[in-house]
Amino acid sequence: MVCCITAVQLAGQEVKVLDLKVQGSKRLKPSFIKLISDIKPGVALDSAVINQDIIRLKRLPAVAHSYFQVFKSHDNFYNVFYNIEENITINPQVNLYTTNDDEFAYRLGLYEYNLLGRNIGFGGFYQKDIFSSYGINFRAPFLFNNNVGLAINFQSLTTQEPVFLDNGTADYKYNNTSIEILGLYAFNFKHRVELGVNFFNEDYLYLNGATDVSVPQAFNVDKILLKGIYEYDALKYDFQYVSGFKSTFNVQYVQANAVTLPDFTIWWNDFRYFARIRDKDGIYDGNIATRLRLGLATNADSPFAPFSVDNNLNIRGVGNTIDRGTGVVVLNAEYRQTLADRDWFTIQGVGFVDAGSWRNPGGDFGDFGDDQNLRIYPGLGLRFIHKKIFNATFRVDYGYGITQDATSGIVFGIGQYF
């Protein structure tokens, strides 16, 4: 089909699209697909634009696979057909994790990623991590057109947080209740931004452990967070396989209503790179996946530093918030090997290494090279993937630490780790 388009263009004729037709969609509305597509009736027939539309469609939670066809209508007018294989988009979310310290926590959620057939995500979660938490999320990246969208999030997170003092560790009950509103804007196919504001309240209450006269045992403060996200996305998807590069930059400025608490800024950038690997017969059945996170925050000498070392965020097997810092460097690297692949189901074996280091609160960049801050956790895992349900990847990973004072642990979850 692409060669047909190219041949007509090379002949120097003005080739145009008569109509864009959608086939195979059930819950995803054809009107929505036409809204977000760059191919429109009357525009020039361009295979590069069509291929870009297909990649965009494959990124939608509702689309498992998509391809196109082109047929001549009359004169120099052609009909373009986008063929859709849909995902099931009502999706439960489960995250479980434990360590050899008998610690156990979980998060359960239910989300619809194709509300009203327009790629609108809506759902919520319940979390039990000693204390109960919950949240509700709404996200419509194409609410008005293929450039402008909106996201609204509410959550109340309550956890037991370790606070690392000079004379030991204290445990605090921490609650963060917030409402966030974000405007979403896509400049083009690969570049987009999110800008918004988050109003939240933080409540710390001392439970047990070490104390320090300079650290309050209880405080409650309202804060305002201004957020900006810039994303470059050049990833390509083919069912469970991913290839390409993606960069996400996140910057936040936080202001408290208490004069005793200074304002602070935090930023981090996630770089993701994926490559598909062929076997000896030339068949793609492996996937290299990497994520590098670099981040810094205002370097206050505070026990409540923003970057944490955590099982479910960055280092599998390390435990639940075992340390904090004002700077972070983390590399997650995986090799995903397909062990079985059927029409609707796939099993992958995973070998991984999670490694990271943190800057101590009030410290310097030399902290990143300190043995006490370095953590390296290799491990193995399995992925059980339903190819017709969005994000239906059940993962189980076991990470084993090889650095100073290391632990080990199992991390369960829905979706790839990154």
Q: Which of 28, 165, 172 is nearest to 88 (CA)?
A: 28
| Cα distance between residue 414 and residue 253, in whole Å | 31
Q: Which of 203, 235, 196 is nearest to 219 (CA)?
A: 203
Superfamily of domain 2-86: membrane protein fhac (3.10.20.310)
> Distances in Å between the alpha carbon of 155 and those of 127, 198, 221, 284, 368?
11, 11, 16, 41, 33
CA 407 to chain centre: 26
Tokens of 10: 């090379």
Domain boundaries, the chain: 2-86, 90-414
3-state secondary structure of 2: helix
pTM confidence score = 0.83
Contacts of 243 (CB under 8 A, 6+ apart): 235, 236, 274, 275, 276
Report the Cα–Cα distance between both ends of the chain, in Å, rounded: 35
The domain 90-414 is placed in CATH, from the list 3.30.559.30, 3.10.129.10, 3.40.50.720, 2.40.160.50, at: 2.40.160.50
The residues facing 20 across adjacent strands are 80
CA 324 to each of CA 10, 226, 286, 328: distance values in angstroms, whole numbers, following the listed order: 60, 22, 35, 9
**Strand bridging mode 90-99 / 77-86:** unpaired
Strands 393-400 and 77-86: unpaired
What gap in Å lies between CA 326 and CA 72, rounded to an integer? 60
Lookup: tokens for 298: 């205002």
187 neighbors 193 (Cβ within 8 angstroms): yes
pLDDT in tens, the chain (418 residues): 444 454 445 455 789 999 999 999 999 999 999 999 999 999 999 999 999 999 999 999 999 999 999 999 999 999 999 999 999 999 888 877 665 455 678 889 999 999 999 999 999 999 998 899 999 999 999 998 889 999 999 999 998 888 888 888 899 999 999 999 999 999 988 999 999 999 999 999 999 999 988 888 898 999 999 999 999 999 999 889 999 999 999 999 999 887 667 889 999 999 999 999 988 888 889 999 999 999 999 998 887 788 999 888 999 999 877 888 999 999 999 999 999 999 899 999 999 999 999 999 999 999 999 999 999 999 999 999 999 898 889 999 999 999 998 999 899 888 899 9
pLDDT digits (tens, 9 = 90+) for 81-138: 999 999 999 988 887 766 545 567 888 999 999 999 999 999 999 999 889 999 999 9
